Amino acid sequence: MHGRGILEFFVIIGWLGLLFDWAVFSGLSTLSAKWKSRRLRQIVRWGYLVISIGITVTFFVMAASFRTARGMTPFHEWVLSLFLTLFVTRLIFSVVLFLGDLGRVIFGLGRRVITKDDRKPLIPSRRKFISEAAVLLAAVPFTGFLYAMIKGKYDYRVHRATLTFPDLPEAFDGFTITQLSDIHSGSFDNTSAVQRGVDLAKEQRSDLFVFTGDLVNNAAWEIEPYLHRFGAIKAPMGQYSILGNHDYGEYIEWASDEERENNLETLKQHHREMGYRLMLNEHIVLEKDGQKIVLLGVENWGKGFIQKGDLDKALAGVDPAAFKICFSHDPSHWEEIIKHHPANVHLTLSGHTHGAQFGVESDKFRWSPVQYRYKDWAGLANEGGRYLYVNRGFGFLAFSGRLGIWPEVTVLTLKRG
C-alpha cells in the first residue's frame, strides 16, 4: 500500500471511530446515570470524549504528515497504535450495546404482541448491566493492546528447531544457525530493550548468522543508530544477509528515482559496515574439513510484492548434488517457486509475515490473522524433505506492539541422519 492508499485508509477508519463514539457516550451515560456524584458523571462522559476526540485529531494530523515524513516513524506508529487500541475498544463496546438494544427491541415487540398492552413503552429502557458488560468486554482488548505496546514488542524469545537430512555432509553434522529477520529499525523507541534482543542473539554462539531482510522501514538512515549493535553479532562461519521488500524504499515518495536508488546503495553499504555479506541473487560455498554446503541468497520475491529474486541466477554454477540453504525474505517464494524447483533446495529461511504481531500460539493450537494471507507464516514447514523456516520477526511495523506472537531469535541445528 503506497502513501496515498495509506492516507485514504487512515481517513476512513478515523471517521468510523468517531461514529463509534456516539454509542460509547450513550453507554457511559446509562452506566453513570444513577451515580450520586454529578461531577464524577461528567468526568466519565466528557472525559472520555475529550480523550477520544484528542486521539482522533492527533491521528488525522499524523495521517496528513505521513507522506512528508518518509514513511512510518515511532511517532506515527504510537499514534496509530493508540488509535487502533481505542478503535477496537470502541468497536467491542458498540457491538455489545447493539446486541443489548436489539434484545430490547425484540423483547418489547414480543411483549406487545403477546399481551396486547400498549400502556408499556414499546422499547424498554436500557438496563445498566448491558453497559457494564460492554465495559468489561471492551477492557480485554484495551488491556491486551496496551501490554503489547509497552512490553510485548520487546519480549524476545528464542525458538529452536533441529532438522535432520540424510545427505548433510558429515562435517556439518551439528551445524548451528542463528537467524534474525525484519528488524525494522525505524520503528524502535527503546534502545536498551533492543540491545537485550541483540545480546540474546549473540549468546547463542552459532556457527553461522543470517539476517533475512527488512533492515529498515524505508530509509537507510533508520539503521544508523544501531549499526554498532547489530554489527556486534558475529559467527565463526560468517554473517550473511538479504534484502526484504521494505529495504527497497518503494513504499514512500522520493524526490527522484536517483534519490531512491542512492538510498538503496547507502543501505547496502550499511550491511557491509555491520560485517554482513549481503547476497543479491548469488551463492556462497562454505567449506569445513574439506566438505561443502552452499548458501543461496536471493533478493525479495513475494506474491503481491516486489519480485526481484532470481533463484536460477543464484543457482548458476552450483553442483546439483550440493547441500543447499536458501535465504529468501518472503515465504510465498518458497511456496510458489523454491519447493517446486528441480534443484533440491534443502532448507529455506524466510521472515516477512511478523506473524501479524498478534495471535495465539500453544503446543496444540495456533492462530493469527496472517494465516489467511500466508499458508506458512511462522515456524517450520516441510514438504517432501524440503524445509522452510519462517522467523516471526525481531522488530515491528505499523502497530507498535506484539501480543501472542513475540519477537524471535531463531536457532536451527542441522543433523545428519
Contact predicate 403/145, CB 8 Å: yes
What pLDDT is stored for residue 315 in this prediction?
A: 98
What pLDDT is stored for residue 240 in this prediction?
A: 98
To the question of pTM greater than 0.85 for the whole model, the response is yes
What pLDDT is stored for residue 1 in this prediction?
A: 47
What pLDDT is stored for residue 124 in this prediction?
A: 56
For the chain, which domains are there?
A: 3-150 (no CATH), 157-416 (3.60.21.10)
What pLDDT is stored for residue 69 in this prediction?
A: 58
Tell me whether residue 313 is exposed, middle or buried, using C-beta atoms within 10 angstroms of its C-beta: 0 to 12, 13 to 18, 19 or more: middle
d(CA 77, CA 192): 19
What pLDDT is stored for residue 17 in this prediction?
A: 76
Cell of 302: 513475494
> Which parts of the chain register pLDDT below 50?
1-3
